[in-house]
Amino acid sequence: MVRQIGLLSLICAGVFTAFGASAQPLDAYERDAQEAIRELRGEMMQHLQTEMKDKGPAEATRVCRHLAPEISNRIEADTGWEIRRTALRVRNPENAPTEAERGVLLSFETRAMAGQSMEAMDSVRLIERDGRRYVHYMRAIPTFEPCLVCHGEDIPQDVEAAIEKHYPNDRATGFQTGDLRGAFSLYKKYEPAQLRRAAKDEGREAAPKLPEKLSIGGGRYGSPRQGRDLFARHCAGCHKASDLVTTVYGEDAAPEANLCTFLETHGLTDAAKDCDIIAYMKALAATSD
């Protein structure tokens, strides 16, 4: 037993030593991967909402079947990331996890059972593949309530028929809100020198100065500074703040209706938090005018 503990300690020490020196470059890759996922999720959500509204959930299954790969391919070409979606229980057999991905998925389940939030549950590491080093980034995909139409326990008959037609070996049903639905799995060649040069050459946009307090109308006020922190904690995993400002927060829009409804899948039901995030969005909109 002592030998096993000693061996485990040596292995862990070796892992931390190997990756400790690369922590900063991996942080940059991690942010890059998160940005790619935000773009993918944003486009998929937009198409899904449109299909669900216009044609119903049965027809909306084509978004995952056809549009998701098209969107992924375009983002891959733009970013250099290889993008997969995988799960312990998959709908499309082609998305079955590798042994390494399965290990990370199981760790996500364990972390979720320990009480960790899946909103920001991820993993980043270096791997060897085809004689080269790659960054492997995975991010958990939680099951939200809208997902249950196609992945829940009580699926409408027309949706069930569409799934059976296209995915006869489907195993991705029976989920409940809050379950681990799966994960995004991204791979990219590890080239830290190139990444450092790009970061040095890229002019970073200065963070806007935010007021402490801002009127959001109707006699209500919010703190843009607190809203920025709340947005980073609850929303940044899927949404880019500047994108929400330009696509959701319009000059004549009611922010509660447009913004809070748009973000409700993240569980933001606390009015104070919503007020602060609205104030943050309004402050960003003002700085971009």
Domains of the chain by start residue, with CATH: 21-197 (3.30.450), 214-288 (no CATH)
What one-letter code names the amino acid at 36? A
pLDDT score recorded for residue 262? 57
Enumerate residue ranges in the chain where pLDDT < 70.
1-25, 193-207, 234, 236-239, 243, 246-273, 288-289
3-class state of residue 201 by DSSP: helix
Residue 74 tokens read as 């375009």
CB-based contact 147:200 (threshold 8 Å): no
3-class state of residue 234 by DSSP: helix
Q: How far is it, in rounded angstroms, from Cα 237 to Cα 243? A: 13
CB-based contact 122:140 (threshold 8 Å): yes
CA atoms within 13 A on the CB side of 235: 27
Q: How far is it, in rounded angstroms, from Cα 243 to Cα 40? A: 13
- Closest to 162 (Cα-Cα) out of 66, 60, 70: 60
